[in-house]
Structure 1
Amino acid sequence: MAGAGRVIARALDGVLAETAEVGVRVTADQLYYATCRAVLPPLHSGPRRPGYLLPRVLPRSAFDRVLARSGSDVVAERLSSLAAASDAPDVLDYGLPRLLICQHDDIAAMLLANDLHMESGTAVLGGSQVVAGVPDLLREAMERGATTVYLLHDATLAGAAWRERVENGLPGRVVALGLRPEQARALHLMRGPSLGAELAAVPPVHLLRVLRRLLGAGRPHAGPGSLRDRAALGFLSWPGERR
């Protein structure tokens, strides 16, 4: 186990250095998957890589112990709705163009910590914040104007069930961005503890880059047609693309 701890510590040091260099705040789960990727040999390259999920190669309990000793300050810890986090909450008086709901609170916290809501003019909520429905302030804003709601979830049975449950209780246009099983396999993500793949397995910089493009650039005239085209753009589907 001591040998495993040394392997984890070396890999985590490299991941933390890269994360600090790009100035991204992440979740502990994202750090775990990034550290697993760091100790794997490179995947075969080429345009026709078959889709599959990778095994997790590091014990999570050992990783958590190493992370606790590292004293890292890159882990995102805050979570709030746009009404509490925005520098200009009165924007809700003019309607809400976009609302992003994440299955997991820690992913929502990570997106907020990296200012996605301010850059894209998008409210960001975690799954626990919509257990009893969308907060009243946001619902009122949604009802005053055309709001598109985006859902972000794991490629697991629990993720699909969460999406369906939330989707059925929302007014207006709802777009399920993913993660879907075929997207996870195309990206060669690691298999989660409950099979399928977790959103946390997507590299954080990749996740932020794709979300910024999708939420900030508006709707394109046509979405990518094939799975290979989608994979080239990122794991997310273009808004309006058929699920």
Structure 2
Amino acid sequence: MHAITTLALQRSIAQLEQAGAHYTEAQLFYAVCYTVLAPLRAALGKLRVALTLPPPLSPTAVAGGLRHWIDRHGVPVGLLPANPSLVSAAAPHTTTELDHYGLPQVLVCQDAAIAAMLRANAFDLELACPVFTVHDWPLLEAIIAALHRANRPRILVLHNASADGLALAGQLTATAPSAIPVQPIGLRPRHAKALRLCAHRRLPPSTLSALAMVDDEARWLRRGWQADVAAVYPIQLLRSLRAIVYATPQPISWRERWRYFVHSGFMSWPAWKEAV
């Protein structure tokens, strides 16, 4: 088993380095598990079977293999520190620059390490979507004001496929600012099954009874299963989040259009019409 772990770790690190993404130690653990499970997951994909799989390796074994790797080769390229606070936060904590701008959306993550990973990959800068954690809730007044200035703003919530994660989405919805909808984007149990993620089985938490779920997802949660957002392969996670952020275009209101035409300059439509 030690040889299997070492080989899978080597391949996973090489694949992540080639992808060029920053990733957490938890994401590396799941990547190693998927390397071991590659033939099984490929067969399940061909059969279109949707289910979650128990990890074939223990986190302790992979962590020991990683320490051995670091002793011999140094820290893998892209691996983030275990402490998310050591990652430079690109989320605006000084918000005077937002005083005159609208902010169409923000992302709130249940997992602080995932939030740090997204910021390290410049997700917030690329998509103009600041990334926060639940520890930043309630959001700063300047962020809320910038959201109010945008047309159809929204707060996206990224949570684990667990009873606590689903309950968190409801809690943020209940305490969100008025006129700013909260949109939970997953992870849900059906997403974990469709992606054939590795999942852990623990005792069902007390928050499960408050969800009022009676479908297959509820039965999956009731058996104690839960899947972390970290179980999604880093590149796949970034790609999926980009698709979600880009999915809903923000239409321009008539006030925004009027403001543009009035102040856009001599090449704007009103000035051009007068010249003709």
- 1:20-31 equivalences under 5 Å are 20-31=17-28
Separation of aligned partners in 2, 1:99 and 1:215? 10
The match for 1:163 is 169
- 1:67-86 equivalences under 5 Å are 67-71=66-70, 72-77=76-81, 78=87, 80=89, 82-84=91-93
Whether 1:189 and 2:225 are equivalent positions in the alignment is no
- 1:4-23 equivalences under 5 Å are 4-23=1-20
5+ residue gaps in structure 1? 221-243
For the 8 Å contact 2:106–2:154, the answer to whether it is kept is yes
> Closer, same or farther in 2 for the Cα pair 1:73/1:46, shift >3 Å?
closer
Return the offset for 1:30: 0.7
**RMSD (CA atoms):** 2.4
5+ residue gaps in structure 2? 71-75, 82-86, 203-224, 251-276
Q: Which has the larger radius of gyration?
A: 2
Return the offset for 1:192: 2.5
Count of matched residue pairs: 214
> Closer, same or farther in 2 for the Cα pair 1:47/1:80, shift >3 Å?
same
Superposed CA offset, 1:59-94 (max 9, x none)? 111111222232224223415252159xx9725631
Separation of aligned partners in 2, 1:5 and 1:135? 48
Superposed CA offset, 1:144-169 (max 9, x none)? 33421101011111111221112211
**Normalising to structure 2: TM-score of the pair?**
0.71
The match for 2:113 is 106
**Normalising to structure 1: TM-score of the pair?**
0.80
The match for 2:157 is 151
Q: Tell me, what secondary structure is at the counterpart of 2:182? A: strand
Identical pairs, percent? 30
> Closer, same or farther in 2 for the Cα pair 1:46/1:142, shift >3 Å?
closer
Structure with greater helix share of residues: 2
Return the offset for 1:47: 6.3
For the 8 Å contact 1:25–1:113, the answer to whether it is kept is yes
The match for 2:134 is 127
Separation of aligned partners in 2, 1:119 and 1:89? 20
Q: Tell me, what secondary structure is at the counterpart of 1:36? A: helix
